[in-house]
């Protein structure tokens, strides 16, 4: 089968790649485009370190064929990072020591982002459910759960401020 | 058939460092002309936070701001020898080497400051904020930046230091096993609460509450990370993990996270801890190694709690539901 | 110096690498890439024990992208042992298997290809002619007469104390008179404890990427936990001048002891030397599970002599560490283990035989708590068993037997920095377990109120 061009939006920018059939989004991002925040922990869909957001939904890019994202909106951790400073989730991960070795962090933050977008005031169990596909060997998940809770509070507070303006 | 709860405890020691063949690490420090300090190492950070605690120890000993101390690791061309990050050794060994290097560098810094202030070096103190002052005369002060500039451009001196820590080799006596295998001992006591489902054999850990004695915490936030992460790894070892569930049988071999059994966030128990500090005699600022010990006390505490809950003592790790059910059946 | 006098030691400053981690800017070895990189995949033994009769690369060579294969003949000093750097020997592990294989998964030949997929496909197409031999998988079976012998020196155990002119089948600790202790004891408590192999399972798998430099040096980007351990062993294996190797690392996506072995670097450097191109060798997740060293399986036999009042007066432990096929760090683990089998308790008569045993299994090596984790498990379950036998509270029996500063441990090191009593008091307080007044009053610095 021949290679084909796939067009999608990556972190807000229209992007074109030429891919062979069954090339994964992970390979496109890391090897073709150099977006290495998306990690490669197992290539089996088992660890979630390669999580990206596709139209706002967390997906494991190691199992996702590039053809499937044609016309869709893909966000990686690079795209979440504001030009200045940090996203509230990123800041909460720093403040709560939610990253140790850091290898799972990209996936964890993006899962947190998808959760908070759909559920701005998640219960602890909601966060635990959201993290079910993401593996961390260092932290016991507890500081990650706390960081997502913390970020939810920060984002609610700043939204509240904006609403009062 | 019921869910039964039980409590168990365990207390452990854990040695800091290894010395099968001597256990050295080195550090070098130099000041830039603009008053920053670079600590050069070949030590690795596994996520426990070595790059951070080493900068803290360096800044503390130099008496300069934390942000002005840079850690350059790990590169074998520029960093002096380190045995490596294992055996709960890095903060203790590398920290000691960094302290020694920092003391040597600080001595030069204070001598140059003394020349600048026309005072005796013995009468000077650092404030940790970037100034060096004459004790008792707060207006007689010079900045670390000016001292570093003066050292280079005026006095032709390098503000630098060499650090070395080595636990000497202790040969093991072949007849008695007499040896000196470590530098200090950290301690932990964990109380585990479990719930055992006597129908399925599934053990749920409800809580792990522990006291740890770690000498001195260089960074309590990072120590807590080791404690919580280690406790959960201990729980995973106690109840879930193995590559050979029917050792010595070899017919099972995991391929990945789908068939290597690990607990996830849904299995996370309440993990609480208190940390005691009794500084060690030979660690930097009294440090003891903490990274490994944290996984150890939860394992027997959980096993003892299972006995307390349902009256079966499982001697084989991991304590899988199958083992619990077989033990319950044998007990009758 | 008291905590109050310290500026930054004792402060929870944010981790230095935290911003890199949360923005994805931290560079791990897998994030480093160079043009013209070759990918290395291993041809591995499908059997547990056997003789290599032949290796046929003809089909592999036809795979588009295949560049070359490496066998043991290409490795200057093929047989090594990691701890040779601190005087442990003899060398026992081949970089690439020579005449035989000792475990399922053992590396036999390295395939270099233009892509990971091509390297994988070519490795799969290498045909091995192997003669299977009987294998042994259990630590005690391996020590029985008639077991297949794995080591050229004729035993299935590491020989201790050769540097003293002795050849001991186990690490010995002898303290007091254990038989007299058993004779005096009111009870004898005998129990068997076992643990199974465990994988470190770091989120980032083990690997490295090697780049030849124009000046004849090789830069090795690696996630090893110990840069110089890896550099020095690599130079010895490759018989290369030490100054030709430059290791860069320090950022590790999880270690837990699993990245202390020196497995991926020497062969990747050799591949770069032979081809003049950058070479990447990183374990797949399946290799991390099945190939990288595990935490060892252990078997421990405890025999304790106990008085009616709960004092443990004698302990004999015979323990077996399953090293798998090769040394790696196992001989050291068993020594560390032997120093911790009495736990944090003061036991006057101790007899320990700790064996480092080879089997036809995936090698085991260092992991968090190396050698101590199984000891702590056995000691602490045994404590509860003894407490029940003598009718004593589990807390009380530990206080009664707890070592104090100034006590002598079985390996004849005086106890210093002991705080076992203090952590037990703190744990009791935090869990609302009300200790009797005499236990609350105990101290690790008070030897008078000691041991009943």
- For C193-213, the pLDDT digits (tens) are 999 999 999 999 999 999 999
The pLDDT of residue C401: 98
For domain B3-16+183-331, give the CATH number.
Answer: 3.30.365.10
**What's the whole-number average pLDDT of chain C?**
96
Q: Is C26 on the interface with B (CB under 8 A)?
A: no
Chain C partners of A44 at a C-beta cutoff of 8 Å? 285
CA distances (Å), origin C151, targets A143, B1, C101, C129, C168: 47, 51, 11, 22, 15
Asked whether residue B164 carries a pLDDT value surpassing 90, the answer given is yes
A117 and A76 assigned to the same domain: no
Residue-wise pLDDT for B214-245, tens only, equals 999 999 999 999 999 999 999 999 999 999 99
ipTM: 0.97
Q: Which of B211, B316, B191, B324 has its CA nearest to residue C394?
A: B191
- Whether B8 contacts chain C with CB within 8 A: yes
Q: Both A8 and A69 in a single domain?
A: yes
Query: What is the per-residue pLDDT across A39-68, written as a single tens digit (0 to 9) for each?
Result: 999 999 999 999 999 999 999 999 999 999
Q: How does the average pLDDT of chain A come out, rounded? A: 96
Whether pLDDT at C399 is above 80: yes
Angle, CA of C89, C92 and C93, to the nearest 5°:
130
Say whether pLDDT at C450 is over 90: no
Considering only CB atoms, which chain B residues are within 8 Å of C361?
244, 248, 250
Tokens of B139: 């207006």
Q: Does one domain contain both A46 and A10?
A: yes
Does A137 contact B271 at a Cβ distance shorter than 8 Å?
A: no
**Dihedral sign, CA of A51, A57, A63, A67?**
negative
Question: What size, in residues, is chain A?
Answer: 165
Candidates C143, B228, C52; CA nearest to A100 is B228
| B212, B219 Cβ separation under 8 angstroms | no
Is the minimum CB–CB distance between C31 and chain A shorter than 8 Å? yes
Q: Is C285 on the interface with A (CB under 8 A)?
A: yes
Question: Taking Cα atoms as reference points, which of C104, C39, C103, C112 lies closest to residue C71?
Answer: C112
Identify the contact set of chain A against chain B, taking CB-CB distances under 8 A: 42, 44, 46-47, 97, 99-102, 127-129, 131-132, 135, 137-145
B47/A132 touch (CB, cutoff 8 Å), yes or no: no
Give the pLDDT band (50/70/90) at residue B332. confident
Q: pLDDT above 70 covers what percent of chain C?
A: 98
Same-domain check for residues A19 and A48: yes
CA distance readout (Å), C447 to C16, C343, C411, C450, C451:
43, 18, 20, 5, 8
> Does the distance separating the beta carbons of B266 and A100 come in below 8 Å?
no
Interface subset of C 372-391, CB within 8 angstroms of B: 372-373, 376-377, 379-381, 383-385
- Asked whether the whole model's pTM tops 0.90, one would answer yes
Q: What is the DSSP letter of C84?
A: G
At B11 the pLDDT is 98
The minimum CA-CA distance between B279 and chain A, rounded to whole Å, is: 25
- C151, C165, C161: which is closest to C81 by C-alpha? C151
Among chain A residues, the shortest Cα distance to C251 is held by A101
Q: Tens digit of pLDDT for each residue in C227-267?
A: 999 999 999 999 999 999 999 999 999 999 999 999 999 99
Contact A101 C204 (CB under 8 A): yes
Does 3.90.1170.50 match the CATH number of domain C162-198+294-390?
Answer: no
Nearest CB among C27, C201, C285 relative to A137 is that of C201
Domain containing A107 — which CATH number? 1.10.150.120
pLDDT in tens, C67-123: 999 999 999 999 999 999 888 889 999 999 999 999 999 999 999 999 999 999 999
The reply to whether A44 and A76 lie within a common domain is yes
Average model confidence (pLDDT) across chain B: 96
pLDDT in tens, B68-83: 999 999 999 999 999 9
Cα angle C23, C224, B45; round to 5: 45
- Check if CATH label 3.40.50.10310 holds for domain C29-133+207-282: no
Q: Which tens digits make up the pLDDT trace of C320-337?
A: 999 999 999 999 999 999
What is the structure's pLDDT at C452?
44
Residues 241-300 of B with CB under 8 A from C: 241-245, 247-250, 253-257, 260, 262, 272, 274, 276-278, 280-281, 285, 288, 291-293, 295-297, 299-300
The confidence score (pLDDT) of residue A160 equals 75
Subunit contact C205:A102, Cβ cutoff 8 A = no
Neighbours of chain A (3+ CB pairs under 8 A): B, C
Spans of all domains in chain B: 3-16+183-331, 23-167
CA-nearest of C80, C59, C147 to C360 is: C147
Q: Is residue A164 part of a domain?
A: no
Q: Does A139 touch chain C (CB under 8 A)?
A: no
Would the CB atoms of C196 and B243 count as touching at under 8 Å?
Answer: yes
Q: Which residues of C touch A60 (CB under 8 A)?
A: none
Domain for residue A165, yes or no? Answer: no
Q: pLDDT-derived band of residue A162, with 50, 70 and 90 as boundaries?
A: low
Per-residue pLDDT, B138: 86
Chain B CA closest to residue A102 = B47
Residue to test with chain B: of C163, C332, C417, C445, most B Cβ within 10 A:
C417
Q: Which residues pair with C157 in a beta bridge?
A: C357
Q: What is the pLDDT of residue C54?
A: 98
- Residues of chain C within CATH 3.90.1170.50 domain(s) are 29-133+207-282
For residue range A104-149, list pLDDT tens digits in order. Answer: 999 999 999 999 999 999 999 999 999 999 999 999 999 999 999 9
Closest partner CB to C23 (pick from A41, A81, A97):
A81
pLDDT digits (tens, 9 = 90+) for A67-90: 999 999 999 999 999 999 999 999
Element containing residue A78 per DSSP (H, E): helix A77-80
The whole domain housing A61 covers: 4-80
Q: Which among B35, B42, B22 is positioned nearest to B62, based on CA atoms?
A: B35
Which of A60, A80, A100 is where one domain is finished?
A: A80
Last residue of a domain, one of A80, A99, A130: A80
How many domains does the structure of chain A reveal? 2
CB contact under 8 A, B228 and A139: yes
User: Is the CB of residue C321 less than 8 Å away from at least one CB of chain B?
Assistant: no
CATH number for B23-167: choose from 1.10.3720.10, 3.30.365.10, 3.30.1490.20, 3.10.580.10: 3.30.365.10
Task: Check residue C284 and give its pLDDT.
Answer: 98
Which of residues A59, A80, A101 is at a domain's end? A80
Residue of chain B whose alpha carbon sits nearest to that of A46: B257
- Residue B165: strand pairing partners: B25
A137: contact with C, CB 8 A cutoff: yes
B70 membership: H or E segment, kind and range: strand B69-72
pLDDT band at C50 (very low <50, low <70, confident <90, very high): very high
Shared domain for A8 and A76, answered yes or no, is yes
Classify residue A104: in a domain, yes or no.
yes
Q: Which residues of A89-109 are buried (b: 16+ CB within 10 A; e: fewer)?
A: bbbbbbbbbbbbbbbbbbbbb
Task: Select from B225, B255, B264 the Cβ nearest to the Cβ of A139.
Answer: B225
Q: What residues in B contact A47, CB-CB < 8 Å? A: 257
Chain C CA closest to residue B174: C161
Per-residue pLDDT band for A27 (boundaries 50, 70, 90) equals very high
The answer to whether B7 touches B190, Cβ cutoff 8 Å, is: no
CATH at residue A13: 3.10.20.30
Q: Pick from C452, C201, C209: which is nearest to C345 by CA? A: C452
């Amino acid at each position: 089968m021949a290679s084909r061009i796939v067009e999608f939006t990556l972190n807000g920018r229209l992007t074109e790649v030429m891919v062979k059939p069954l090339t994964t989004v992970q390979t496109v991002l890391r090897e073709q485009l150099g977006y290495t925040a998306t990690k490669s922990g197992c290539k089996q869909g088992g660890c979630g370190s390669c999580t990206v957001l596709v139209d706002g939904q967390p997906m494991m890019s190691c199992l996702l064929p590039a053809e499937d994202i044609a016309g869709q909106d893909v966000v990686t951790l690079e795209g979440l990072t504001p030009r200045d400073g940090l996203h509230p989730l990123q800041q909460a991960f720093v403040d709560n020591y939610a990253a140790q070795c850091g290898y799972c962090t990209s996936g964890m933050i993006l899962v947190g982002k998808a959760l908070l977008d759909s559920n701005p005031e998640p219960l602890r169990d909601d966060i635990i459910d959201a993290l079910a596909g993401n593996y961390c060997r260092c932290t016991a998940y507890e500081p990650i759960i706390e960081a997502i809770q913390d970020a939810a509070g920060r984002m609610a507070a700043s939204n509240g401020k904006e609403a009062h303006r | 058939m019921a869910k039964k709860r039980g409590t168990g405890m365990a207390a452990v020691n854990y040695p800091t460092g290894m010395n099968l063949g001597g256990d050295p690490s080195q550090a070098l420090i130099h000041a830039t002309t603009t008053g920053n300090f670079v600590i050069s190492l070949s030590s690795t950070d596994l996520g426990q936070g070595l790059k951070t605690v080493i900068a803290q120890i360096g800044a503390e000993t130099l008496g300069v701001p934390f942000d002005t101390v840079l850690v350059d690791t790990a590169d074998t061309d520029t960093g002096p020898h380190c045995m490596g990050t294992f055996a709960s050794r890095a903060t203790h060994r590398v920290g000691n080497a960094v302290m020694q290097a920092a003391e040597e560098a600080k001595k030069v810094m204070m001598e140059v400051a003394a020349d600048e202030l026309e005072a005796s070096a013995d009468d000077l103190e650092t404030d940790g904020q970037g100034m060096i002052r004459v004790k008792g005369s707060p207006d007689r002060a010079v900045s670390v930046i000016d001292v570093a500039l003066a050292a280079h451009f005026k006095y032709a001196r390098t503000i630098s230091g060499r650090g070395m820590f080595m636990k000497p080799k202790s040969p093991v006596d072949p007849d008695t096993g007499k040896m000196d295998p470590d530098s200090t001992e950290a301690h932990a006591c964990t109380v585990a609460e479990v719930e055992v489902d006597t129908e399925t054999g599934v053990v749920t850990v409800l809580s792990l509450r522990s006291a740890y004695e770690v000498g001195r915490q260089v960074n309590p936030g990072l120590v807590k990370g080791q404690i919580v992460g280690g406790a959960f790894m201990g729980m995973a070892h106690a109840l879930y993990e193995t590559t050979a569930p029917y050792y010595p049988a070899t017919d099972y071999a995991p391929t990945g996270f789908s068939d290597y059994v690990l607990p996830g966030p849904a299995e996370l128990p309440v993990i609480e801890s208190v940390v005691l500090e009794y500084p060690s005699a030979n660690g930097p600022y009294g440090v003891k190694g903490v990274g490994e010990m944290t996984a150890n006390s939860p394992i027997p505490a959980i096993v003892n709690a299972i006995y307390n809950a349902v009256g079966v003592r499982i001697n084989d790790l991991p304590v899988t539901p199958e083992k619990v059910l077989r033990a319950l059946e044998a007990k009758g | 110096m008291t905590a109050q006098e310290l500026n930054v030691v004792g402060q929870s400053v944010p981790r230095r690498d935290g911003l890199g981690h949360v923005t994805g800017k931290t560079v791990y070895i897998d994030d480093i890439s160079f043009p013209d990189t070759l990918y290395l995949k291993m041809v591995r033994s499908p059997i547990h024990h056997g003789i290599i009769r032949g290796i046929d690369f003809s089909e592999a060579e036809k795979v588009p992208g295949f560049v070359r294969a490496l066998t043991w003949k290409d490795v200057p000093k093929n047989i090594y042992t990691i701890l040779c750097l601190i005087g442990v020997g003899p060398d026992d592990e081949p970089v690439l298997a020579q005449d035989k294989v000792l475990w399922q998964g053992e590396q036999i030949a390295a395939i270099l290809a233009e892509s990971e997929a091509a390297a994988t496909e070519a490795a799969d197409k290498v045909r091995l002619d192997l003669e299977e031999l009987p294998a042994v998988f259990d630590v005690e079976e391996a020590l029985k007469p008639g077991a297949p012998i794995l080591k050229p020196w004729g035993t299935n155990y590491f020989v201790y104390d050769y540097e003293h002119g002795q050849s001991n089948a186990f690490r010995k600790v002898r303290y007091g008179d254990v038989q007299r202790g058993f004779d005096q004891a009111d009870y004898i408590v005998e129990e068997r404890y076992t643990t199974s192999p465990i994988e470190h399972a770091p989120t980032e798998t083990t690997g490295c990427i090697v780049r030849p430099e124009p000046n004849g040096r090789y830069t090795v980007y690696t996630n090893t936990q110990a840069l110089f351990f890896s550099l020095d062993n690599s130079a010895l294996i490759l018989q290369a001048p030490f100054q030709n190797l430059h290791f860069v690392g320090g950022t590790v996506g999880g270690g837990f002891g699993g990245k202390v072995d020196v497995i991926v670097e020497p062969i990747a450097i050799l591949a770069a030397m032979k081809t003049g191109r950058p070479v990447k060798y990183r374990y797949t997740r399946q290799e991390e599970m099945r190939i990288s060293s595990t935490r060892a399986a252990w078997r421990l036999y405890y025999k304790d002599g106990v008085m009616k009042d709960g004092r443990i007066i004698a302990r004999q432990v015979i323990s077996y560490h399953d090293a798998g096929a090769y040394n790696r760090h196992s001989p050291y683990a068993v020594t560390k283990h032997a120093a911790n089998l009495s736990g944090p308790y003061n036991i006057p008569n101790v007899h320990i035989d700790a064996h480092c045993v080879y089997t036809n299994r995936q090698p085991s090596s260092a992991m968090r708590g190396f050698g101590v984790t199984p000891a702590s498990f056995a000691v602490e379950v045994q404590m509860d068993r003894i407490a029940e036998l003598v009718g004593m509270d589990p807390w009380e029996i530990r206080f009664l037997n707890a070592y104090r500063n100034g006590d002598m441990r079985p390996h004849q090191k005086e106890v210093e920095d002991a705080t076992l009593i203090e952590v037990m008091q703190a744990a009791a307080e935090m869990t609302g377990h009300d200790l009797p007044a005499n236990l609350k009053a105990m101290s690790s610095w008070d030897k008078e109120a000691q041991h009943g």
